[in-house]
Amino acid sequence: MIETADPGQAALGCPECGVHVAPALLACPSCHRLVHAEQLKRLAAEADRATRAGDSSAELGAWRQALDLLPPDTTQHRTVSARVAALSRALDNHPTPAKTGSRWGKGAAGLGAIGVLLSKLKFALVFVLTKAKLLLLGLTKASTLFSMLLSMGVYWTIWGWKFAVGFVVSIYIHEMGHVQALTRYGIKATAPMFIPGVGAFIRLKQYPTDRREDARVGLAGPIWGAGAAAAAYAVYFATHAGIWGAIAHVGAFINLFNLVPVWQLDGGRGFRALTRPQRWIATGVIGVAWWLTAEGLLLLLLVAAAAAAWFGDAAEEPDAASLLQYTWLVAVLSLMTRISVPGAMLR
Ligand SMILES: [Zn+2]
Ligand SMILES: [Zn+2]
State the Cα–Cα distance between residues 89 and 83, nearest whole angstrom: 10
The whole-angstrom separation of Cα 201 and Cα 181 is 15
Ligand 1 centre distance from Cα of residue 90 (Å): 38
* HSE toward the beta carbon, residue 183, CA cutoff 13 A: 13
HEC secondary structure over 62-126: HHHHHHHHCCCCCHHHHHHHHHHHHHHHHHHHCCHHHCCCHHHHHHHHCCHHHHHHHHHHHHHHH
Residue bearing the bigger pLDDT, 3 or 93 = 93
pLDDT of residue 99 exceeding 60, the answer is no
Expressed in angstroms and rounded, the spacing between residue 240 Cα and the centre of ligand 2 is 29
pLDDT digits (tens, 9 = 90+) for 272-301: 999 999 999 999 999 999 999 988 899 999
Task: Determine the pLDDT at residue 137.
Answer: 66
SS3 222: helix
Maximum CA extent, the chain: 75
CA distance 273 to 227: 23
Assess whether pLDDT exceeds 50 at residue 347: no
Going from the Cα of 6 to the center of ligand 1, the distance in angstroms, rounded, reads: 18
- The pLDDT of residue 299: 94
pLDDT tens readout for residues 216-243: 999 999 999 999 999 999 999 899 888 8
Please compute the mean of the pLDDT values over residues 292-311 and round it to a whole number: 93
The percent of residues in the chain predicted with pLDDT above 70, rounded, is 78
Among the bound ligands, name the one nearest to the CA of residue 27: 1
Residue 194 Cα to ligand 2 midpoint, Å, equals 12
What's the 12 CA to ligand 1 centre distance in angstroms?
Answer: 10
Residue 250 has pLDDT above 60, yes or no: yes
Is 250 buried (19+), middle (13-18) or exposed (0-12) by CB count in 10 A? buried
How far is 306 from 283, CA to CA, in rounded Å?
Answer: 6
Question: Ligand 2 being an ion, which residues bring their Cβ within 5 A of it?
Answer: 221, 266
pLDDT given at position 202: 84
The chain-wide mean pLDDT, for the chain, equals 82
Residue 59 pairs in a beta bridge with none
Q: Mean pLDDT across the stretch 20-47?
A: 86
Q: Which ligand is nearest to the CA of 173?
A: 2
Average pLDDT over residues 69-73: 86
Cα(267) to centroid(ligand 2), Å: 9
pLDDT at 271 over 90: yes
DSSP letter, residue 167: H
Backbone angles phi, psi at 194, to 5 degrees: -95, 140
User: What's the 27 CA to ligand 1 centre distance in angstroms?
Assistant: 8
CA of 219 from ligand 2 middle (Å) equals: 7
In this prediction, residue 311 carries a pLDDT of 93
What residue spans define the domains of the chain? 7-93, 131-346
Q: Assign domain 7-93 to a CATH class.
A: mainly alpha
Using the predicted structure, report yes or no on whether residue 90 has a pLDDT greater than 90.
Answer: no
Express each pLDDT in 136-188 by its tens digit: 667 767 777 777 777 666 666 767 788 888 888 899 999 999 999 999 999 98
Comparing 212 with 136, which gets the higher pLDDT?
Answer: 212
Q: pLDDT category, 96, cuts 50, 70, 90?
A: low
Specify the pTM.
Answer: 0.75
Phi-psi region of 295 (alpha: psi -120 to 50; beta: other; left: phi over 0): beta
Q: How far is the CA of 334 from the centre of ligand 1 (A)?
A: 60
How far does residue 40's CA lie from ligand 2's centre (Å)?
A: 33
Task: State the pLDDT at residue 309.
Answer: 95
In angstroms, what is the span from residue 260 Cα to ligand 2's centroid?
A: 11
The arithmetic mean of pLDDT across residues 41-65, rounded, is 88
